[in-house]
Amino acid sequence: LCHLVSALVPLQSCQCLAWKPRPIVVWGAESQHVVAGYSDGTIRVFSISRTEMELKMHPHAVALTAIAYSTDGEMILSGGKDGLVAVSSPRTGMTIRILTDHKGSPITVLQCTRKQYRDFGVEGGELWLATSLDRRVSVWASDWLKDKCELLDWLSFPAPADPKGLGSLPPSLAAFCPWEHGTLVYIGFGMQKEALFYSLRKKQVVEKISLPYFATSLSLSPAARFMAVGFGERLLRLLHCPASDAQDYAGHDDTVHLCRFSPSGRRLLTASHSAVLVWELAGP
Whether the Cβ atoms of residue 153 and residue 200 lie closer than 8 Å to each other? yes
What percentage of the chain exceeds 70 in pLDDT? 88
- What is the residue-averaged pLDDT of the chain? 87
Distance between CA atoms of residues 228 and 223, nearest Å: 13
Predicted confidence at residue 166, as pLDDT, reads 56
Whether the Cβ atoms of residue 113 and residue 127 lie closer than 8 Å to each other? yes
Distance between CA atoms of residues 36 and 45, nearest Å: 6
28 — pLDDT class (breaks 50, 70, 90): very low
DSSP assignment of 124-164: -SEEEEEEETTTEEEEEEEEGGGTEEEEEEEEE----SS--
pLDDT above 90 (res 43) = yes
C-alpha 174: how far from chain center: 7
173 — pLDDT class (breaks 50, 70, 90): very high
Q: Which of 30-34, 125-129, 207-211, 264-268 has the lowest mean pLDDT?
A: 30-34
Predicted confidence at residue 9, as pLDDT, reads 56
117 — pLDDT class (breaks 50, 70, 90): low
Q: What is the tens place of the pLDDT at every residue in 185-226?
A: 999 999 999 999 999 999 999 999 999 999 999 999 998 899
Q: What is the tens place of the pLDDT at every residue in 44-93?
A: 998 877 778 889 999 999 999 999 999 999 999 999 999 999 999 999 99
Please give the average per-residue pLDDT across 253-278, as a whole number: 88
Q: Which of 2-6, 148-152, 186-190 has the lowest mean pLDDT?
A: 2-6
Predicted confidence at residue 256, as pLDDT, reads 93
Paired strand residues for 110: 130
Q: What is the DSSP letter of 144?
A: G
Q: Which of 175, 182, 222, 167 is nearest to 196 (CA)?
A: 175
pTM over 0.85: yes
Please give the average per-residue pLDDT across 225-247, as a whole number: 90
pLDDT above 50 (res 282) = yes
pLDDT above 60 (res 27) = no
Please give the average per-residue pLDDT across 11-39, as a whole number: 73
